[in-house]
Amino acid sequence: MTAGRVRPALLAALGVAFGAFCFSYLTLPDVRGLARTNPTTTAFMELRKEEAAQDGRTLAIRHRWVPYAQISADLRRAVIVTEDAAFFDHDGIDLNEVKASMERNWDEGRFSRGASTITQQLAKNLYLSPSRNPLRKLREVFITRRLEASLTKRRILEIYLNVIEWGDGIFGVDAAARIYFGKTAATLSREEAALLAGAIINPRVHNPGKPTRRLLRRQQIVLRRMGPGAS
């Protein structure tokens, strides 16, 4: 391609990128209502129902909201040390984890490690999809910053624990606690909390009620990270 053609092509590419940026920003959801209102459904819930329908089945969503104070302190601690140890210190994006992720992915020559914080995971679960499309990731970052600006850390964690996926049609910690252990989210033990936290990495594969050896190993790692007491 000649120099005369490179410049128009570059300008066109930049124009497309700028248009995508503007579209992503202007169509962001208004998250301010989450400070007072609990979400009744999420993008992931709707996605799983659509996937089930495509397979010719109806997916019953099992979900029951519980307030922050009724979620086991052990479970809260287990999830933080497993998913986002710096949760209370960053503003939604953990730059240290992003750097570590980039370095490891570069060393391995493939995308093997993510760096999503709890807030980023919440943005994805509420409004987006599991896709790694760059435009989707851009929207995730914008929504993450809005969530951090509009909600307290406690509220972000409360919503997260109430909406994330914990199995086929199982969403939120109370549904997971009742289905896997026959108890409420408030009464989970340290060991049960560690199993649930360990299963978040792949909730449609790992069953905390019937843990595999791999999940049991993850449970022990989580318990060591939690230390002698809950916070």
Say how far apart CA 183 and CA 173 lie, in whole Å: 11
pLDDT score recorded for residue 132: 81
pLDDT in tens, 66-105: 999 999 999 999 999 999 999 999 999 987 765 554 445 4
Q: Is 41 left (phi over 0), alpha (psi -120 to 50) or beta?
A: beta
Best-predicted range by mean pLDDT (111-120, 130-139, 196-205): 196-205
For the segment 210-221, the average pLDDT, to the nearest whole number, is 97
* CATH topology assigned to domain 36-226: Penicillin binding protein transpeptidase fold (1.10.3810)
Say how far apart CA 49 and CA 142 lie, in whole Å: 26
Helix and strand counts by DSSP (H, E) for the chain = 10, 2
pLDDT cut 90: percent of the chain above it: 74
Show Cβ contacts of residue 169 under 8 Å, excluding neighbours closer than 6 positions: 48, 52, 59, 60, 61, 62
pLDDT score recorded for residue 95: 78
Residue, of 132 and 230, whose pLDDT is higher: 132
For the segment 136-158, the average pLDDT, to the nearest whole number, is 96
Q: Does residue 109 register a pLDDT over 50?
A: no
For the segment 143-149, the average pLDDT, to the nearest whole number, is 97
Hey, where are the domains in the chain? 36-226
pLDDT in tens, 159-209: 999 999 999 999 999 999 999 999 999 999 999 999 999 999 999 999 999
pLDDT cut 70: percent of the chain above it: 79
Is the sign of the CA dihedral 75, 178, 70, 159 positive or negative?
A: positive
